[in-house]
Amino acid sequence: MSGQVLSISGLTITTPNGVDLVRDTHFEVGAHELVIIIGPSGSGKTSIINTLCGLIDERDGEWKIAGRLSYGEREIDLSTSRSDMCGLVFQGNALFDDLSAGENVKIAADHAGEGARGFDATPIMSLLSDIRPEQPIASCSGGQKQRIAIARTLIAGHPILILDEPNSGLDIISSRRLAGIIKDICVQRGTPVLIAAHHVDDLLPLADRVLMLDTRARTVRPVAPDMASIERAMRGLDSEGESALAAAETGATAPQADAWQGLARRGRPGRWFARYFAEYFWVLCASPFMLAYLGLGGAILGFVSIWFGFNYHAFGGYLKSILHDETLAGIGFVQTTISVPLIASILVVARNSAVICADLGNRTLSAQLPAMRNLAIPGLRYLVVSILVANTLSLALLTVAALATASWSALQTWQVFFPDQPPEFWQENYFRRLIEAGPALYAQLGWVSAKIVLSSVLGSGAAILIGLRPKLSVVSINNAIAKAIVIGVSLTLLSHAFFAIMQFWR
């Protein structure tokens, strides 16, 4: 595709509040060309690049967009279609922090389109020569994160590269070296590169052209690529309103470079659903903390039911030894069909609603979900389906675990009252009403299963919806977590009350 030009014509963007960011705007970015777009803070640079990348968020209201994007033989009407030709390196990078550095690149390679096939990924992988593929994202420096984000976007195979504030958070030397890497990629691959930036000093030496978003004329116009001209133009608008980088520049190959080559090859995308499912199943169900949490809840419930059931029932101390088999049968039936499933559901839904909402809230705040969409990764399907399935399995398995610990605790407490009775007597009577139910036992189990499934689906569904709402700060994530817990537990209580009435309705 080398030699092709990105052409934008008739671009008009109107916000949901009715503000025109640009009107009938035209500009081009040539092959092998690095173009910087500047403008005052809040002028709409990010909205323009989100439009070009098909990432405008309609949840805040209806945007009005018109214009055409063309590149080579393809042309997209932006008023009716979302563009999928531009790969975006997000401000803040939007890396998937639950994946390693290598997995961030590999997931993009596995979901890459046809345009990514057949090109040499070696120059791209040289960006990462100082990074271990298994390295956690949290341990990477700012420059390393930037280069992972760039490599991930290039591996996805978009013919056009757009970067949003790529030099934010970098020192001057790192910023200039990063600009050099971007320019080299632009020249070697014939990729048009558009950079939206606020601070351009470090980028100008390698820029071919500079475009300015003129907030007065609501258009994009060229500006001479020197600081004096840019400062004069911006003042006119204001009156109205690392060592590894050097190695990558010179083409040197560090020992880690070979480890990255295999990650650039396309693999099976379906395995990423299994990856996310395993991650959520571990956090929501199988972690030792979660097992201990539910085990403790079940043990306390078993102790309380037997201790207070035999100490404070209506028949007094003399009849306690005579009628304890009936009392034991009643306690066992209530625990297995009502109290343990209810308490287990409350504990699991409260804890997992917080986990789900925090996870999705962080992904929303850090722009990971738009990054997935830009990389053609079906992120919502991976995440939402994994959460719903893992949470339902979690509640079912943990309810069984809670029943086991509650039964064990009930047995130990019962033996304190009746040390001379054999455990077989307790077992026979504690489960007697379930055994005597015969075929009706399956109906009882069906009611319990219905409570569990509905509690899980409603609780996790509420947490998903709340977690995916736009987040502006960590405080908004905290507020969302509190809301998810209250709504999830409330829905769980209503679900169990409804099915309990239906279960014993005569």
Contact 145, 101 (CB under 8 A): no
Q: Is residue 355 predicted with pLDDT exceeding 50?
A: yes
Higher pLDDT, 447 or 348: 348
Residue 244 in 3-state DSSP? Answer: helix
In the chain, what percentage of residues exceed pLDDT 70? 89
pLDDT tens string 465-499? 999 999 988 999 999 999 999 999 999 999 999 88
Is 105 in a helix, a strand, or coil? helix
Domains and CATH numbers, the chain: 6-264 (3.40.50.300), 271-503 (no CATH)
Give the per-residue pLDDT at 453: 94
Q: Which residues, 6 or more positions from 372, have their beta carbon under 8 angstroms from its beta carbon?
A: 96, 378, 379, 380
Report the DSSP pairing between strands 64-71 and 160-164: unpaired
The DSSP string of 294-363 is: HHHHHHHHHHHHHHHHHHS-TTHHHHHHHHHHHHHHHHHHHIIIIIHHHHHHHHHHHHHHHHHHHHHHHH
DSSP string covering 262-290, please?
GGGS---TTHHHHHHHHHHHIIIIISHHH
Mean pLDDT over each residue of the chain, to the nearest integer: 85
CA atoms within 13 A on the CB side of 304: 11
CA 63/CA 341 separation, integer angstroms? 47
pLDDT band at 142 (very low <50, low <70, confident <90, very high): confident
- For 217, phi then psi, to 5°, come to -85, -5
Whether the CA torsion 478, 482, 487, 488 is positive or negative: it is positive
> Residue 393 pLDDT > 50, yes or no?
yes
pLDDT value at residue 118: 55
Using 50, 70 and 90 to split pLDDT, how confident is the model at 244?
A: very low
Distance between first and last Cα of the chain: 73
pLDDT value at 358 more than 70: yes
Q: Are strands 193-196 and 160-164 parallel, antiparallel or unpaired?
A: parallel
DSSP for 451-488? HHHHHHHHHHHHHHHHHHS---SHHHHHHHHHHHHHHH
Q: Is 70 helix (H, G, I), strand (E, B) or coil?
A: strand
Kindly indicate the confidence band of residue 293, based on its pLDDT and cuts at 50, 70 and 90: very high
Burial of residue 246 (CB within 10 Å: 0-12, 13-18, 19+) is: middle
In this structure, of 81-95, 209-223, 304-318, 368-382, the range with the lowest mean pLDDT score is 304-318
**Tokens describing residue 241:** 């309103």
Burial 373-384 (b: 16+ CB within 10 A, else e): bbbbbebeebbb
Q: What pLDDT is attached to residue 434?
A: 72
